[in-house]
Chains A and B, each alone.
Chain A
Amino acid sequence: MATVMPLSNLLDARRVWRGRAEPLPAGEQPTGWAALDAVLPSGGWPAAALSEILLPLDGVGELQLVLPTLARLSQGARAVVLVAPPYLPCVAGWRQHGVDMRRIEIVSATEADVLWATEQCLRSGSCAAVLAWPRQADDRALRRLQVAADGGRALAFAFRDRRHLSNASPAALRLELEARPQARVWVRKCRGGAVPAQPVALPRALH
């Protein structure tokens, strides 16, 4: 038998490569939901990237999911922009979640301009987060948003219908919300880690 070589020598000489991805810098953008942070590879939202949130219906907790993040970001120097929200944000309700409404910019845009406006906001670098509700966004459009989010160091959130789940997406994170039998979040794709097999419960409080 040949001489026994300690494994650490091989590793130090970089002759053996461990099949493990680069660990992501953790905890820059916590979601505010401890159970969700625990299963996400970056310990929260992927920083400077697009997160896609897929819903079966409106009013199933989609804002509740992001409001802790928005409350935290609204205390910072950069603005939070909502592009073409489907309803009016209720000031009293958002404030109950701790959001400073003076930092929230609402952009009304027609369907044709939603993606343009979102991209401009993301690219500008002066927005901490941009939330958009695009109805007709294809793979190309989402990729543009992803690139713009990276360039402007902003969090991008795209809220879309659940039927888009079967289409591939360039988003760094895809979450699917489920309302029945109970409010849960499925991680459908997350860059830099394995997709957790189990959903995360989303406790729903009124305020």
Chain B
Amino acid sequence: MLWACIALPQLALDGVLRRRADAGPLVLVAGTGHARSIVAANAAAREAGLRVGQRLSAAQALLAQFEALPYQPERVDQWHRFLAAVAYRYSAEVSLLPHAIVLEVSRSLNLFGSWPRLESLLRADLDALGFRHRISAAPTPHAAHVLAGVADGQAVLTDEQLRHALQCIPLARSRLPAVAADALPGMGIRTLGQLLALPRDGLRRRFGAELLLALDRLTGAAPAGLEAYRPPDRFDLRIELTHEVEAIGALVFPLRRMTSDLSAYLAGRDGGVQRFTLQLEHREGHTEVKVGLLAPEREAGMLFELARARLEQVQLPQPVIAMRLLARDLPAFVPAGRDLFDERPANALPIEQLRERLRARLGDRAVHQLGSTTDPRPELAQKVTAHDDGWQEPSPRPTWLFERPIPLRGPAPQILAGPERLETGWWDGGEVCRDYYVVETAQGQRGWAFCAPGERDGWMLHGWFA
């Protein structure tokens, strides 16, 4: 067993910062009234002297201009779960620990290669999503968690190395029950190595079974006792904007973040998305932008481009204060196959993506195919469909068809072929009785025209033999 631990030291702050383009001083505050204090501060704020734990009033005395946002535990939890969904891509066993995610990777190494390679993949994903992180690996999840708390990038691959690595961990960083971690240094026990060397009976009498269980979980003598994370079947992401946005252009940056989050989430589930909704929230009510695709997709750039094209057509009735991306329909994703001897250029855009791009700008029904039906009436003989039976019509048919016949003006046309009588449609009230001819006009155009049975005037033109 090999467990990787991703420690997230700045989860609350990163969740806020990642959707901002600017980097002014910013702090998160918790508490009420005069007791409000800073729980997280970004680099610019720390440089100005703001510290975690400081009272908000003290901070205001230090720095005139900074942004203070409320610390929202439920939002932090939401990001925590989101990152677990991202990590789910690398392992089926993912669990949540406080400010950390652990995943079992020994079997994943077969697929992703050695641990350094998997580690760099994890780091690349987290960097792209904008989350600060520390990564470590150890044979047990709790040991990995402890190691990640001490230093970044530690990898302990065997039990032997683990015992050695735990020796010099100070108890303050050992994540053991607080009662023991506080009391033991007073007894001269400062490192995990010293603690592990003590007789178990004495420890149980002094600190109870809880400490022994924690130690066993750390070394792997007891099962880890973690609850496995299961990604939810829907994606729901909401971003509150820092100010009221009146122009669609200003929504593009948060939109890019949201679609790339969606893409990362889908990659974790090995799924795709076929339909999603963007809700632009106003002070009163909201505007919905629906994005529908012909087939499930998950490529970040494509999702962004399509959503953006739809968004740009929206007229905002009121300023937008928040944006929400909802995806309930997450079917399995089947990557498009390609031929080895493909005649398309190497950088070709697949036809499916081309269709999506056209539909996004021109409308859902803009791209279609025509197929024939079994109805003999020319108006109903073809419709927008994917089905085409390939039936050959023996009588001449034009290449251009008018949606409805128009009167043929000018001198009487020359008849080239015909008549072909169509007397049909009696069953649904749309009865037609026409003699169709192939005619040539005085200008040399060849047309498909009809008149009433037996007559040779009152020509109605129905198509061109172009």
Query: Which residues of A are interface residues toward B (Cβ below 8 A)?
Result: 56-64, 67, 76-79, 85-97, 100-102, 104-110, 113, 116-117, 120-121, 123-127, 151-153, 179-180, 182-183, 204, 206-207
Which residue in chain A gives the minimum CB-CB distance to B372?
A91
> Is the beta-carbon distance between B351 and A113 smaller than 8 angstroms?
no
> Is the beta-carbon distance between A93 and B397 smaller than 8 angstroms?
yes
> Is the beta-carbon distance between B347 and A125 smaller than 8 angstroms?
yes
Q: Tell me the complex Cα distance, A110–B358, Å.
A: 12
The smallest C-beta distance from B218 to any residue of chain A, in angstroms, reads 56
Q: A109-B366, A183-B444 are in contact. Are A87 and B401 (CB under 8 A)?
A: yes
Which residue in chain B gives the minimum CB-CB distance to A90?
B401
> Is the beta-carbon distance between B345 and A153 smaller than 8 angstroms?
yes
Give the residue of B349, B351, B417, B445 whose beta carbon is less than 8 angstroms from that of A58: B445
Q: Tell me the complex Cα distance, A125–B350, Å.
A: 8
B412 an interface residue at 8 Å Cβ cutoff?
no
B443 an interface residue at 8 Å Cβ cutoff?
yes
> Is the beta-carbon distance between A88 and B370 smaller than 8 angstroms?
yes
B201 an interface residue at 8 Å Cβ cutoff?
no
> Is the beta-carbon distance between B354 and A88 smaller than 8 angstroms?
no
Give the residue of A67, A96, A121 whose beta carbon is less than 8 angstroms from that of B397: A96
Q: A61-B466, A108-B366 are in contact. Are A89 and B399 (CB under 8 A)?
A: yes
The smallest C-beta distance from B328 to any residue of chain A, in angstroms, reads 30
Q: Tell me the complex Cα distance, A55–B438, Å.
A: 21
> Is the beta-carbon distance between A91 and B345 smaller than 8 angstroms?
no
> Is the beta-carbon distance between B357 and A120 smaller than 8 angstroms?
yes
Give the residue of B362, B393, B417 whose beta carbon is less than 8 angstroms from that of A107: B362
Residues of B close to A60: CB separation below 8 A: 443-446, 466
Which residue in chain B gives the minimum CB-CB distance to A107?
B367
Q: A88-B370, A90-B398 are in contact. Are A95 and B351 (CB under 8 A)?
A: no
> Is the beta-carbon distance between B388 and A102 smaller than 8 angstroms?
yes
B390 an interface residue at 8 Å Cβ cutoff?
yes
> Is the beta-carbon distance between B443 and A180 smaller than 8 angstroms?
yes
Give the residue of B345, B354, B388 whose beta carbon is less than 8 angstroms from that of A121: B354
> Is the beta-carbon distance between B350 and A126 smaller than 8 angstroms?
yes
> Is the beta-carbon distance between A106 and B372 smaller than 8 angstroms?
no
A-B contact pairs, 20 of them (CB 8 A): A58-B400, A59-B445, A59-B466, A60-B444, A78-B343, A88-B400, A90-B398, A91-B372, A95-B372, A95-B393, A96-B397, A101-B388, A104-B369, A106-B370, A126-B349, A152-B345, A206-B396, A206-B417, A206-B438, A207-B397
> Is the beta-carbon distance between B465 and A76 smaller than 8 angstroms?
no
Q: Tell me the complex Cα distance, A153–B446, Å.
A: 33
Q: Tell me the complex Cα distance, A183–B350, Å.
A: 39
B355 an interface residue at 8 Å Cβ cutoff?
yes
B402 an interface residue at 8 Å Cβ cutoff?
yes
> Is the beta-carbon distance between A89 and B381 smaller than 8 angstroms?
no
Residues of A close to B370: CB separation below 8 A: 88-89, 91, 101, 104, 106
Q: Tell me the complex Cα distance, A201–B333, Å.
A: 53
> Is the beta-carbon distance between A179 and B417 smaller than 8 angstroms?
no
Q: Tell me the complex Cα distance, A56–B391, Å.
A: 33
Give the residue of B365, B371, B396, B417 whose beta carbon is less than 8 angstroms from that of A101: B371
> Is the beta-carbon distance between B348 and A126 smaller than 8 angstroms?
yes
Q: A90-B400, A107-B362 are in contact. Are A96 and B344 (CB under 8 A)?
A: no
Q: 9 extra interchain contacts, Cβ-Cβ under 8 A, other than A87-B464, A90-B399, A106-B370?
A: A58-B445, A63-B466, A89-B400, A93-B393, A93-B463, A105-B369, A116-B361, A125-B349, A204-B465
Main secondary structure, interface of B, reads loop
Q: Tell me the complex Cα distance, A67–B400, Å.
A: 12
Q: Which of B378, B386, B465 has the most CB of A within 10 A?
A: B465
Interface string of B394-418 (1 = CB under 8 A from A): 0011111111000000000000110
Residues of A close to B349: CB separation below 8 A: 123-126
Residues of A close to B400: CB separation below 8 A: 58-59, 63, 85-90, 93
Give the residue of A59, A95, A109, A125 whose beta carbon is less than 8 angstroms from that of B348: A125
Residues of A close to B368: CB separation below 8 A: 105-106, 108
Give the residue of A77, A94, A95 whose beta carbon is less than 8 angstroms from that of B339: A77
Q: Tell me the complex Cα distance, A72–B406, Å.
A: 33
Give the residue of B347, B392, B416 whose beta carbon is less than 8 angstroms from that of A95: B392
B141 an interface residue at 8 Å Cβ cutoff?
no
Q: Tell me the complex Cα distance, A95–B343, Å.
A: 25
Q: Which of B362, B368, B381 has the most CB of A within 10 A?
A: B362
B10 an interface residue at 8 Å Cβ cutoff?
no
Give the residue of A67, A117, A179 whose beta carbon is less than 8 angstroms from that of B445: A179
> Is the beta-carbon distance between A59 and B465 smaller than 8 angstroms?
yes
Identify the 8 closest CB pairs spanning chains A and B, nearest first.
A179-B444, A59-B464, A125-B348, A59-B445, A93-B397, A90-B401, A87-B400, A92-B397
B382 an interface residue at 8 Å Cβ cutoff?
yes
> Is the beta-carbon distance between A101 and B392 smaller than 8 angstroms?
no
B447 an interface residue at 8 Å Cβ cutoff?
yes
Residues of B close to A108: CB separation below 8 A: 362-363, 365-366, 368
Residues of A close to B371: CB separation below 8 A: 91, 101-102
The smallest C-beta distance from B52 to any residue of chain A, in angstroms, reads 51
The smallest C-beta distance from B79 to any residue of chain A, in angstroms, reads 37
Q: Tell me the complex Cα distance, A95–B370, Å.
A: 11
Residues of A close to B367: CB separation below 8 A: 105-107
Residues of B close to A96: CB separation below 8 A: 392-393, 396-397
